[in-house]
Amino acid sequence: MQNSANPTNIMQINEVFMERNSVYLNVSRNASATDRKGDLMKSLATFTIVTIAIVLLAGCATTKMTSFKDPAFQSISFKRILVVANTSDLEWRRKIETRMVKSFQDIGVFAIEGVQLFPPTREPTADEKVDILIKNKVDAYVSVSVGESGVKEEYVPSTESTTKTKGSVRVSGDRADYAEKSTTKVDGGYTLSKPWAGFQTKLFDVSSGQNAWVASSFTGGNAFADFSTVINSYCDKVVDQLIEDGLIKKGGK
C-alpha cells in the first residue's frame, strides 16, 4: 500500500511541539513535579493523536498484479533498464517513467527514462532504436501501457444526528442567569472520490528482442489519494514483482 503522507509536515509538528514543551518547562519551574508530569503527558498525547491523524488522512493506493515470466528467462536477470510509458499524454508519461526509474534506483538497479533516449519530438527507426539501446548498455526495457482509468464515486448517506446540550448558571448578587448551548452533529451526507487505473506491463530483452515478462494490474486509491498516488503504487509494485519473479536483483547484481 502506497502512502503519500508528507514526512516534512510531521517533522514540523514535532518541532513546534518540542519548542512549546521547552517553554512550558521554563515557565513552570515553580510548579509541582506532579503537575508538570501531568501536563507533559497531556502534550504527548495530543502530539500522538495529531500524528496518527496525519497518517490516517494521507492518500494511499494498493496495486493488484498478475505476472508471467517466459520459461526461456528462468535463470536470467537484467541490470540496466529503460522505462518507456506508451501514452500520448506527456504528463502521465513523465510521471510514470520518472517514478518507476526511482523505484528501480531505490533498490540499486540502474534505470533511465525513455524520454531521455527517445524524445517525443523524434521518430527514430527500429534500427536506430536498437543502436541507441546498445550504445547506452541497456539490456532490457519496460514497456508500460495505460489502460482504463477513472474516479469511483461513493456516496456516504447521512446517519441520525446527535445533539448535545450543555447549560451553565452565572450568579451575580441576588440574580442568577442560566445559559444553554446545544451542538448537533450529523454524520455522512457526502461523496468520496477514489481514483483508479489499469496498466499492462511488459519487459523485453534487448539482445534477442523477445518478450521476457508480462503483467496486468489494477491500482485503486482511497478517498485522499490522487493519480500521482496511483502511479507511485503501480511503479513500486512492478519493481517488487520483477524481484519476486527473479528478473532483477537488489543492488543490480
- The alpha carbon dihedral of 133, 134, 136, 141 has a sign of positive
- Distance (Å, whole) CA 227 – CA 232: 9
Lowest-pLDDT range, 62-76, 131-145, 168-182? 168-182
Question: pLDDT class for 21, splitting at 50, 70, 90?
Answer: very low
C-alpha distance across the termini of the chain, in Å: 27
Mean of the pLDDT values across residues 80-93?
97
Mean of the pLDDT values across residues 23-50?
50
Question: pLDDT class for 8, splitting at 50, 70, 90?
Answer: very low
- Distance (Å, whole) CA 44 – CA 8: 19
| Contact (Cβ atoms closer than 8 angstroms) between residue 247 and residue 73 | yes
Question: pLDDT class for 175, splitting at 50, 70, 90?
Answer: confident
Mean of the pLDDT values across residues 192-208?
97
3-state SS record for 106-175: HCCCEEEEHHHHCCCCCCCCHHHHHHHHHHCCCCEEEEEEEEEEEEEEEEECCCCCEEEEEEEEEEECCE
Question: pLDDT class for 181, splitting at 50, 70, 90?
Answer: confident
Q: For residue 23, what are the contacts with CB-CB under 8 A and spacing of at least 6?
A: none
- The alpha carbon dihedral of 31, 32, 36, 38 has a sign of negative
The C-alpha cell that represents 100 in the structure block: 518507476
Highest mean pLDDT: which of 37-41, 154-158, 180-184? Answer: 154-158
Question: pLDDT class for 190, splitting at 50, 70, 90?
Answer: confident
- Distance (Å, whole) CA 76 – CA 8: 40
Domain ranges within the chain, ordered by starting residue? 2-56, 61-154+190-252, 156-185
Residue with cell 499524454: 89
Does pLDDT of 178 surpass 90?
no
DSSP state of 5: -
Architecture of domain 61-154+190-252: 3-Layer(aba) Sandwich (3.40)
The C-alpha cell that represents 195 in the structure block: 481514483
